[in-house]
Structure 1
Amino acid sequence: MRIEAVLLALCLPGMAQAVTCRDDSFEGASYSVCAVSPEEDLRLFLNGPEGPYGSFAAVETALAAKGQKLAFAMNAGMFHSDLSPAGLYIENRQQKMRLITSEGPGNFGLLPNGVFCAGEGFAIIESRAFKASPPECRYATQSGPLLVIDGALHPMFVPGSDSFNYRNGVGVAEDGRALFAISNDAVNFHAFARYFRDVLGVKNALFLDGSISRLYAPELDRDDMGFPMGPIVGVVTARD
């Protein structure tokens, strides 16, 4: 009943809202989660005319010139000091950064990692499986590690780990919606992954980032600010 209640609260079929967001809690930690249906105009943003956007406000300004706005946004994967993506990045079917499948340092290189793909629907695909059989993605971002893999937690996660941080990620629900979640308290990987699996009920989920984690959700009166970001994911709607 817990999983069903959460999904119903997030977004009932036929609701007019492009995105439905809510606050939640799990094992004493606070979370915020936003549900996006495959029918919505979900995009990735990286560079504008003057270089990297770096912030939700810069994306909003660019969209406003076209009579559009963000209904929701979140940082969308790890990046280098120049704000370029750490791994695969596809924007409007154009590949801007290549897929990385080798093991490496940091969370990104903690294999298996994966790709969030937005095409005909939403999918989270392990990176080497993505390389072996690339799907059609209008937008895609690679990050890591995978949090949940076919219903199992990443094998390197330790229940009692003292590595606590603010974290955000994305999972794909059984009904095809993308569930973007951010922890409002510092949590370890094991707890964050279990939130996706045991509360949101997803079989596959991908970690997007840690201390950089930020959310734009007008429904929650939320517009997080901080250091410049690399890739940003957001849902675009017409301005009122």
Structure 2
Amino acid sequence: MIRAIALLTFLFAPTISGAQCETVLFDGAEFTACEVEMAEADVRLFLRDEAGTVLGTFGRVDSVLPEGARLAIAMNAGMFHEDRSPVGLYVEDGEQEMRIITSDGPGNFGLLPNGVLCLDEGAASVIESRTFEESPPSCRHATQSGPMLVIDGALHPRFLPDSDSYNIRNGVGVNASGDRMWMVISDQAVNFHHFARFFRDYLQTPNALYFDGRVSRLHAPEIGRSDLGFPIGPILGVVVDDLVDRTVDETVDGGQGDG
């Protein structure tokens, strides 16, 4: 039985940015989940500026966007080294910076199976890393992280319900058709099992990928949130054009001067 109670729902321009956020209580813990309609939203990965310097913060990503565009939703999007370069596969706007890593290893990244978030035109997918390596799909943007949270509807086999490893955690899940993606952060410390069940049981995503803990943060200014902290590596973001937003709003309202 799913024990979930919706507390608050925050909506911001869902027909323009293709995204909305809500905070829910699931099995005793609060989570903020931002739902993204892939056909409507401009979803990208960000790592470096034109000079090759790692951006590292939501504010710096905003600063490199074209005039009129802004970052509507964002979160850290995968593990990174001390120099903030990505640990595993990283592709941005079709350019690969780091290759895929499929060997097991230390830390959460090496807790196989891990996976890849692949973003292409109007679609998102979360794919187990070795499956991805065997038959790489077309990805305009891609970031590898680990472990997988949900794999074809099943929780990662290493997750324990009574684990005492608690952290603020964030990750991403997609629906079966790939036209809808959820960017999720726990608003309080949870273990892996609890976090993964939120994706499987509440969001009902067949596949979901862990991004990080401890450094997890969310940028969603429409709900009054932009988490601070030391600089991070890859960033997953939804970009909106304020000029387009205003034009559409005026059309929906009947134009300026209508009263």
TM range (shorter): over 0.9
Counterparts of 2:22 and 2:2, CA distance in 1? 15
2:58 to 56, 59, 72: 56
**In terms of mean alpha carbon deviation, does 40-49 or 157-166 score higher?**
40-49
Residue 86 (structure 1) aligned with residue 81 (structure 2): no
Residue 160 (structure 1) aligned with residue 162 (structure 2): yes
Structure-2 change in CA distance of 1:125 and 1:10 (3 Å): farther
* Aligned partners of 1:115 and 1:142 also within 8 Å: yes
Q: What are the ranges of 5 or more consecutive residues in structure 1 without an aligned counterpart?
A: none
Secondary structure of 2:201's aligned partner: helix
Name 2:102's counterpart in structure 1: 101
Counterparts of 1:132 and 1:174, CA distance in 2? 21
1:191 to 186, 189, 194: 194
Counterparts of 2:100 and 2:194, CA distance in 1? 28
Structure-2 change in CA distance of 1:194 and 1:10 (3 Å): farther
TM-score (norm 1): 0.92
Secondary structure of 2:71's aligned partner: strand
**In terms of mean alpha carbon deviation, does 37-46 or 125-134 score higher?**
37-46
Name 2:35's counterpart in structure 1: 35
* Aligned partners of 2:118 and 2:140 also within 8 Å: yes
Structure ID, larger Rg: 2
Name 1:122's counterpart in structure 2: 124
- Choose between structure 1 and 2 for higher RCO, CA contacts under 8 A separated by at least 6 residues: 1
* Aligned partners of 1:126 and 1:146 also within 8 Å: yes
* Aligned partners of 1:18 and 1:237 also within 8 Å: no
- Percent sequence identity is 55
* Aligned partners of 2:73 and 2:220 also within 8 Å: yes
Counterparts of 1:165 and 1:155, CA distance in 2? 19
Q: What are the ranges of 5 or more consecutive residues in structure 2 without an aligned counterpart?
A: 244-259
Counterparts of 2:215 and 2:169, CA distance in 1? 8
Counterparts of 2:222 and 2:184, CA distance in 1? 14
Secondary structure of 1:48's aligned partner: coil
2:239 to 215, 226, 236: 236
Per-residue CA distance 1:85-122 (angstroms, 9 max, x = gap) = 01000000111110000001000000000000001311
Shift, 1:67, TM fit: 2.5
TM-score (norm 2): 0.86
Task: Supply the RMSD in Å over aligned alpha carbons.
Answer: 2.0
* Aligned partners of 1:114 and 1:206 also within 8 Å: yes
